[in-house]
Amino acid sequence: MNRLTLFTLALLVLGNALSPAEARAARRAVIAIRVIYAVKDGAKSIDPALDDIRGELEELPASKFRLLDRISTEVDEGAAVELQLPGDKSISVRFTGVDQVKGKRMLGLQLALKPALKISLRLADGGRTLIGGPVHLEGRLVLDVSARVEEKEDKK
C-alpha cells in the first residue's frame, strides 16, 4: 500500500471512532408545550382542544381548563431555549441527552420556570406529561409537555 492509501485508511478509522460523539451532537429534541389555564370555579368545563387529555385533567383539583397557547421549538442536545408564557413568565428548556431504559429511548429535559421552579424530567421518545405551573390570574397554569428525538441531517 502506498502512503496515500494508508493515510486515507487512518482517516476513515479515526472518523468511525468519532462517530458516536458526532451522533450525540447531531440530535435535537422537538418540544411541544400546551399552556393550559386551570381554575376552581363551579361547574366542570374542559376546552374541546384538550379532549385528548380530558381524563388526566379531570383528576386535577380544578374545574375549568382552557387552552391558552401552543408553543413548539427544537433544542439541540446540550442546549437550552427560553420560551415566553402568559403573564410575563418564562420557561427555560434544556435538552440534556438520550439514554435507553428497558429498550425505550428516554429524553432528558431540564425545565426551569422563572424564578423558582426547576424540574428534571425523563420522557419516553414521543411521550408527554402534565406539570403544574405558576399562578395566573385567579387560577394556575398547567403545562402539557411532549418531546421527541429528531436526528439532524449530516451536513458533510
User: For 28-85, what is each residue's pLDDT tens digit?
Assistant: 999 999 999 999 988 899 999 999 999 999 999 999 999 999 999 999 999 999 998 8
pLDDT class for 134, splitting at 50, 70, 90?
confident
| Of the candidates 39, 32, 116, the residue with the CA atom closest to the CA atom of residue 75 | 32
pLDDT at 33: 94
pLDDT at 84: 87
CA 137 to mean position of chain CA atoms: 26
pLDDT at 141: 93
- Of the candidate ranges 20-24, 72-76, 129-133, 141-145, the one whose mean pLDDT is the lowest: 20-24
* Domain coordinates in residue numbering, the chain: 28-150
CB neighbours (10 Å) of residue 132? 14
Which pTM value belongs to this model?
0.77
